[in-house]
Amino acid sequence: MTKVKVAIIGSGNIGTDLMIKIMRNSDYLEMSAMVGIDVNSEGLARAQRMGYVTTAKGLGGLVEMPEWDEIKIIFDATSAKAHYHNWAIVEKCADKTMIDLTPAAIGPYLIPTVNFDAGHNVRNVNMVTCGGQATIPMVAAVNRITKVHYGEIVASIASKSAGAGTRANIDEFTATTAKAIEKVGGADKGKALIILNPAEPPVVMRDTVFTLSEQADREAIKASIHKMVHEVQAYVPGYNLHQEVQFDDIPEDKPVFIEDLGYRYGLKTTILLQVRGAGHYLPEYAGNLDIMTSAAMRTGEKLVKENF
């Protein structure tokens, strides 16, 4: 099939890694333009060397170029604040779709393995956060077996893999991920934390997922989790369980207090994950960035298959 032309806004680590993934691996997407705001950006220079259209004048600069008319999908790898400005431009173009890699969350949250159908007919979809992409599939895996009252995730990433955009979006990270744990993962209440680990040498992304749910068959929950891990591995090969799933009973006479929910008891499930990057542009320890770019590309390809 004819590939659909795409542009990437944001020439930092995430945007550059996404560009290389599309160039090397996509059968459905064709890289057309890289947009930035820094004329000295390494990502812009790399895109230019590869023969793609570039501009350091932001999205407005691309709109003025003839290539804009042929571009159908725009990936936004900037910041939550910048995305509002970028969407105001794209929204006016009825033939273009935006895939948002920032925590702005203007469009619906989208986790490819969990709820793609909820977003394939809208023109702005939000990829939540790196922590959300890694952990919400696990909350959903438990929730499809038994009702999840509470989901909490802790994402630990190498400090070196957290660029300016990631650091600028930390508040939005926690708020957006928590909401997506509820809306996509199915939990009544969600909470998210992020840790920037300064260890040397840098450590790979580790994620811990806690759920408190109704009691259910533990083997069925394990099977659901392993099935979901396999589904995510289809586009993030470095996604794995770091240890076997753990269970604890929270008895009725010793319930735990959850903000906004009150006291709850049931089955506590602990899921420990490791995400190792593919090493396309970024080091393998930067699994947090790799899972975002991989999920975004997967979403773009699925949108092409559904709508083009």
The residue type of 29 is L
CA 171 – CA 105 distance, rounded (Å):
13
Q: How big is the chain by its Cα radius of gyration, in Å? A: 19
> Are the C-beta atoms of residues 101 and 296 closer than 8 Å to each other?
yes
CA 257 – CA 181 distance, rounded (Å):
19
Active site residues: 130
> Are the C-beta atoms of residues 154 and 223 closer than 8 Å to each other?
no
The vertex-294 CA angle with 159 and 31, nearest 5°, equals 110
Element (H, E) at 75: strand 73-76
Can you say how many angstroms the Cα of residue 137 is from the centroid of all Cα atoms in its chain?
11
Per-residue DSSP letter, 202: P
The vertex-49 CA angle with 45 and 53, nearest 5°, equals 80
Q: What are the structure tokens assigned to 136, written together?
A: 């919400």
